[in-house]
Amino acid sequence: MVVKDDLLEQVLLLTRQMREQAQQAAWEEAERTEVQRSRLIAECFDGEEEFGDQMLAANKVQEIIRLDTEIMAIGDRSRDEIRTQLNRLQQGRQVAKAYRRFSR
């Protein structure tokens, strides 16, 4: 196996790890994993060597893209949930403020 193939496999493994972290809402861990993964991606596609098995490499890249799409969807849902919770909190504060103002 060529070195690039090993690097791409590591990228795939890190991407799977990021999906698991996203599913657990462990966003700080996912961010650290992404930093590591980004370095490997840059190394993987620096143009200096070719992959040993082009088809296998293409399949891995497709899986990485698919997983990235899943991770982004999980992130979007988490962001929306947080936004909803913040809106509810803000509404609760407004209600409490109004209650205090009119209960005097």
Decide if 83 is inside a domain. Answer: no
Residue 53 domain flag = yes
Residue 48 lies in a domain: yes
Q: Give the Å distances, CA to CA, from 21 to 5, 15, 17, 53, 67.
A: 24, 10, 6, 30, 12
Task: Tell me which residue range forms the domain holding 31.
Answer: 3-74
Find the helix packing angle between 54-102 and 27-44, rounded to 10°. Answer: 150
Residue 71 and residue 22 in contact, taking contact as beta carbons nearer than 8 Å: yes
Within-domain flag for 7 = yes
In a domain, 63, yes or no: yes
Number of domains in the chain: 1
pLDDT of residue 28: 96
pTM of the entire predicted model: 0.80
In a domain, 70, yes or no: yes
| Least confident among 13-22, 74-83, 91-100 | 91-100
